[in-house]
Homo-oligomer: A and B are copies of this chain.
Amino acid sequence: MPSEMVTVRSNQEVGEDVFEMRLPSSVPAKPGQFYMLRREGSALLLPRAISLCNQEEDTLTFLYKVVGEGTAELSNMKPGDKLRLTGPLGNGWPLEELSGKRVLLVGGGIGIAPLLLAAKALRQQGNPADCCLGFPHQPFYQEAFQPDCGALSIATESGVAGHKGLVTQLFDPADYEIVLCCGPTPMMKAVVALCKAAGTPVWVSLENRMACGVGACLVCTCSDHQGKNRRTCKDGPIFRGEEINFDA
């Protein structure tokens, strides 16, 4: 069932304010899809959208950052606690378009989460992607990427690890045939601009406040350059970067 009460398997801090939660599920999902999570008896009305970070057999792994009340509530959950899990939702990365191409994955902060399964899928196709991950300070979860990437480079703004600076300084999009990107909006804007200049197609995973997550309520729309609305939850969350008007 794509909406059910499930029991938390594990939930632990893996970086500063960053948690990894494992939940059971037997429904197969595509890399880049997301789920809506809501604690049983939550004090909050709406579930929270979290991207699938990993899927092994019957276990889903989510990586999330505590930014407000909802994610704080999730972070307080203990094994055995119950939550409502709805999904998988959204379109997922365009894996069919990637086969045989030179692919670069660019992740910023918690935005690295939806990239891991893309890396795994490409590695399985025998076509591992290069991977550039940027963090404000201490990196996290990069060890999970290591085995599934080609070249892995790290940037940190504070300089505690890898290149001191922004992730956009780590790569030249002209070296790749396609780029997949997820991170804070300013970073995605910058990556899209670089790729556009280099003529390299780029796909981004967007975030937007959501209610239904299934395309019914129209609160999560973003705009393309023609001013047409796109539902982040249903038509996305993954869009061609060139199409999206980040300033709408």
Residues of A within 8 A of B (CB): 41-43, 69, 72-73, 76, 78
Contacts and interface: CB of A to CB of B under 8 A. Distances in A.
Contacts of A41: 43, 69, 72-73, 76
Contacts of A72: 41
Contact of A78 (B42, B43, B78): B78
A41 B76 CA distance: 10
A73 B72 CA distance: 18
Copies in the complex: 2
Contacts of A78: 78
Contacts of A76: 41
8 contacts: A41-B43, A41-B69, A41-B72, A41-B73, A41-B76, A42-B43, A43-B43, A78-B78
A76 B42 CA distance: 13
A43 B40 CA distance: 10
A81 to B, nearest CB: 8
Q: Give me the 8 closest cross-chain CB pairs, A-B, nearest first.
A: A43-B43, A41-B43, A42-B43, A41-B73, A78-B78, A41-B76, A41-B69, A41-B72
Contacts of A42: 43
A69 B73 CA distance: 18
Most buried by B among A42, A43, A76, A78: A43
A43 B44 CA distance: 7
Contacts of A69: 41
A69 B69 CA distance: 21
A126 B54 CA distance: 67
A200 B187 CA distance: 80
Nearest to A44: B43
